[in-house]
Chains A and B, each alone.
Chain A
Amino acid sequence: MADVIEVGAARGDAPPPAANAARRAASAGRTRRATPYLFLAPYLVLFGVFGLLPIVLGLWLSVHQWDFQLPNRPFVGLDNYKQLFSSDSAIYGDWWQSVRATAIFTVLSVPLLVVVPLGLALLLNRSFPGRTFFRAVYFAPYVLGVAVIGLLWRFLLDANLGLVNRLLGVVGLPSDTPWVTNMPWAWISLVGVTVWWTSGFNAVIYLAGLQDISPELYEAARVDGANAWQRFRNVTLPGLRPVLLFVITTTVLASANMFGQSFLITQGTPGTETRTVVWFIVEEGLRNNNAGRAAAMSIVFALLLAVVSIANFRLFRYRED
């Protein structure tokens, strides 16, 4: 593990102690001491300005009334936070509606985004001709951006011209479902599109995990007379536990940060019911010129997500005992 190169200046095995050589070694040592920091410098400049500074600035903004258009940006203490939690503030309703929208989307999408890719991975974990091809096909939508996915599905889900209703009509199902404009269809659409778009990603992570499970465990289970379901339950699932934890945590975060799908596909409709937290934060901060309050929302949101992630870890560790 300690595979690290010694770059200390004065080492016991330094070259012969001739005065010249020693001086040269000392000067080389000085530059070499600086070397690790020189390697880090370009990254640390970027990281400092766009990684650490925003964290500090965000905290600072959140305790100020920060309007882009006003010269005065007074300190307001915890006011920005209080408004989010007191029902008589002007923003309370819209803020919690966006939290609710995000929660609904997360609760609906995460189970599917955990289970469907697992099914795909189990299917693709068999060895058969064409496996690489199918793996690539299922992964392909993920490499497209949300802008493309959004426009494409807005079109496919169009109540009149969309392919989805056409195909449903062909097989004799209702062909006039308002997929993007009415409830509960808007949520079904957003979740469905997200599952279609990102399942391949989680499937690939599961596949890597499945390949790490020792074949002997399956052999042993088979010898003991375990059927397919029992082998899945007692060998596959326990073997996948760390991978499952990773998939659930990252998927919850990704779903909670959903923005592009509802911005482009349902456009927040009906009303503002599908307007998510991220959307609301940028709107408040950049459209309504209220960066202070938006920063406070970002921090509350980040803390909420942290609590969910920690709970997730706890739950898994508890189950392990």
Chain B
Amino acid sequence: MSEITGNEIIHQYLRHNKKFPHVLCAGCGHGIVLGTLIRSIHTLGIPKDDVVIVAGIGCSGRLAVYVDFNTVHTTHGRALTFATGIKMASPRLNVICIMGDGDALSIGGNHLIHAARRNIGVTALILNNNIYGMTGGQSSPATPEGATTMTNPYGQLDASFDTVALARGAGANYVARGTVFHVKRLEGIMEEAISRPGFSVVEAITPCHTQYGRKNRYKTPVDMYKWLKKAAVPIERFEEMTEEQRRDRLPIGVFVAEDRPGFEERYLALQAQMRAKGGK
């Protein structure tokens, strides 16, 4: 038997009854993230029926439409709350939550920290393109300080959110960051995130040249991918760098990797204990 190519895997998982073409711009990194997600599910051998993809609103939210899993496209910022309900109702399911940076860090920021605190057994995949893409290029909590967007034409005054620090601080079990330029590494991260118990956060840096790049020195998609190549450094190397060298660099890799049981596991244990004591 010949080796299965990437394309053949993708075709097993796409919905052929969905009317293509998809909504993403040429050069967008979101398709690459979706590709790594599908390949990691394939590699882990998880049956399609055991996967639920829950997505928020925006460009990343639309990814759920195209893949042949159980898919739920929710309200803006609330994907994690739906995912929490699904996981608690059916703990055997692999629940993967796809969100954008605006989705997860702004309107959904409260849900993100509480999902992490609760350590619910969901994989949160945050596609960070530093901008609100679908609504036309307004600033997001991940827009870098000084960057230009439709809602800060004179430069962003707010500091940018560090997703990794936020997720770690709130108590997530597994926290990692990758980029769509470093595809193999991102795929490895994704596999680990899905396999771990508890709450996993994967931040995937994915360029939006249409809304972000063209206003911020990156005229073409190629410019954006070159930036990712230059800016991203493995966390191990980043830690050895001087303050000067760290400027404009983005550490990638695994930041937190623990095996604490998820909320659903702890709940089921409590329930077993209570019922043994004399429940119905």
**A and B are partners in one complex rather than unrelated chains:** no
Chain A residues in contact with chain B, CB under 8 A?
A: none
Chain B residues in contact with chain A, CB under 8 A?
A: none
